[in-house]
Structure 1
Amino acid sequence: MPESRLARQIATAVRHQRELHQLTQQALADLAGLSQGAVARIERGDRLPSLPVVERLFAALGRQLRVAVEPLDTHLDAALDALAERSLIERIEELGLDRMLDALGDLPYVLTGSSAALLQGAPLPVDAVEVAVRWCDSARLTGWLEEAYGQRWNARWEEWGGRRLEPEEPGEHRWRTRYGELRARMCDELPEPVEVRHGGRSYPVEPLARVEVADPGAADLLRRHRQRLALSWAGGETRAGCETRAGSAG
């Protein structure tokens, strides 16, 4: 992954977590033992900070850095192109989205992350249903997970099970259930949704602009998709212009 992209992703994650905790840059700097200027530079993504500095920042926010790998750019582009060619209905059925939402019943939620992006036409990879759930509904979510034979993801051992189901317990908010995988973003208030309709069904989804703020991974893929669309359109206009001029010359 190019350094510029990694710096941008860290910048987005730090800024998002700081804003979630309602801290100023100076307040976060004080907690992490850094200067306000250092926090500002990191959030701008000017350059890649050292790992100890990043770990101090996230520790001050009660978070920790997790490293993951992804396909090389060329493979990622091919995957996005393949997803763009598939129908939305087919992808919804493959995800088991309606089955999961029907099972959730009257639990208040808003679809977020890649699930929200999918329903708004973005060709992002989606391997789990992602929802926002209020902390005040945590007990209801836990009860539902018990009935759905849920297993909590254990990032330390990279396996399902071995952790308590309750969202209040440390660990990723990620569960495997009889209806598929569910990932939750716990929040005090649900994000203001927009209504998206497909196949006669209505879905409450987080707008793409908010998805990009809350999910750095989805934001990076959305940015990449838009850049490639812009290049494709620009290339098409250039070719069309050349063909028009060639026809005029004839």
Structure 2
Amino acid sequence: MTDGRLAALLGATLRQERESRLLTQRALASRAGVGQASLARIERGVQTPSLALVERLFAAMDRQLTIGVEDLDAHVDRLLAGAGTRPFADRLGDTDVARFRQRATGISYVFDGPTAALLHGVPVPAPGVHVVLLWSEAAAVTDWLTRMYARRWYDKWQEYGHLPVDPREPGAHRWRTMAGEIHARMSDEVPERIEIRHDGETYPVVPLTEVEIADPHTADLLRRYRQLRGARGDGHPATD
């Protein structure tokens, strides 16, 4: 488990326990003898607390944290298995694809990464929307992001902030906007694409084979999905 995922899990668990007890951050921070700002960073997964601080925070709510072990990335397998039981429309509804399509005017895009895999019919976790955008349209993309009141992802603090949204400026190509949470892969040319239709709508999508080459994270999700299908005897792995 990476430090980032551990911090996120600890933060989410702590926040869930606090909210279930109707405690404000200020109240819990006071009980545990920690600053509210530090507690806020811990709950956001930005700060990894020491074990002593973790014990103190949960003890302030008459709780204690237990530790268990599981196969590496077993949580991903659970997500994949659970997604496979839900209708496609529901899985698509969990993303920002519809909102993005309604508002993405004046820019060229092709769906990429886990969004592309989802549109191909593979039940992978695909929050937000992943797209390929063109460097040649960087100015138009910047104008569009500005109109969408975008905030850019700041790796140092692991949160969205008021950084320059222009993709030519240093920073992750990831923004939170009125059109959803955008994860972009910038390209010098329009990538190979196919058209996929769902419920009368057409989606420009990067082929799965190309997604696996360009996106190691999605390639790993696809590999794990195919292994799960093979273990259940569901037939051949998903392909284009």
Asked if TM exceeds 0.5, the reply is yes
SS at match of 1:217: helix
Q: Report the counterpart of residue 195 of structure 2 in structure 1.
A: 195
One-letter amino acid of the structure 1 residue matched with residue 203 of structure 2: Y
Q: Report the counterpart of residue 126 of structure 2 in structure 1.
A: 126
In 2, the alpha carbon distance for the partners of 1:144 and 1:155 equals 22
In 1, the alpha carbon distance for the partners of 2:182 and 2:107 equals 13
Task: Report percent identity of matched pairs.
Answer: 44
SS at match of 1:138: helix
Deviation at 1:93, TM superposition (A): 2.0
In 2, the alpha carbon distance for the partners of 1:153 and 1:143 equals 17
Query: Where do 1:15-94 residues align within 5 Å?
Result: 72-94=72-94
Q: Report the counterpart of residue 215 of structure 1 in structure 2.
A: 215
Q: Deviations over 1:136-193 (max 9, x none)?
A: 0111110000000000011111121132100011111000001210111101002111
> TM-score, normalised on structure 2?
0.66
In 1, the alpha carbon distance for the partners of 2:162 and 2:201 equals 37
SS at match of 1:95: coil
SS at match of 1:170: coil
Q: Report the counterpart of residue 206 of structure 2 in structure 1.
A: 206
In 2, the alpha carbon distance for the partners of 1:100 and 1:153 equals 18
In 2, the alpha carbon distance for the partners of 1:134 and 1:96 equals 20
In 2, the alpha carbon distance for the partners of 1:76 and 1:210 equals 22
One-letter amino acid of the structure 1 residue matched with residue 143 of structure 2: G
> TM-score, normalised on structure 1?
0.63
In 2, the alpha carbon distance for the partners of 1:228 and 1:82 equals 11
1:146 and 2:146 are equivalent in the alignment: yes
In 1, the alpha carbon distance for the partners of 2:197 and 2:120 equals 10
In 1, the alpha carbon distance for the partners of 2:110 and 2:90 equals 21
Paired residues, number: 166
Deviation at 1:88, TM superposition (A): 1.2
Q: Report the counterpart of residue 40 of structure 2 in structure 1.
A: none
Q: Report the counterpart of residue 155 of structure 2 in structure 1.
A: 155
One-letter amino acid of the structure 2 residue matched with residue 206 of structure 1: V
Q: Report the counterpart of residue 50 of structure 2 in structure 1.
A: none
8 Å CA contact 2:100–2:180 kept in 1: the answer is yes
In 2, the alpha carbon distance for the partners of 1:231 and 1:219 equals 18
1:175 and 2:175 are equivalent in the alignment: yes
Deviation at 1:86, TM superposition (A): 1.2
In 1, the alpha carbon distance for the partners of 2:220 and 2:205 equals 19
SS at match of 1:149: coil
In 1, the alpha carbon distance for the partners of 2:184 and 2:153 equals 12
The structure whose residues are more often helix, as a share, is 1
Q: Report the counterpart of residue 227 of structure 2 in structure 1.
A: 227
Q: Deviations over 1:111-156 (max 9, x none)?
A: 0000000000111111111110110011111000000000001111
In 2, the alpha carbon distance for the partners of 1:125 and 1:215 equals 14
In 2, the alpha carbon distance for the partners of 1:96 and 1:89 equals 13
Deviation at 1:76, TM superposition (A): 1.9
RMSD: 1.7
Q: Report the counterpart of residue 103 of structure 1 in structure 2.
A: 103
In 2, the alpha carbon distance for the partners of 1:117 and 1:83 equals 13
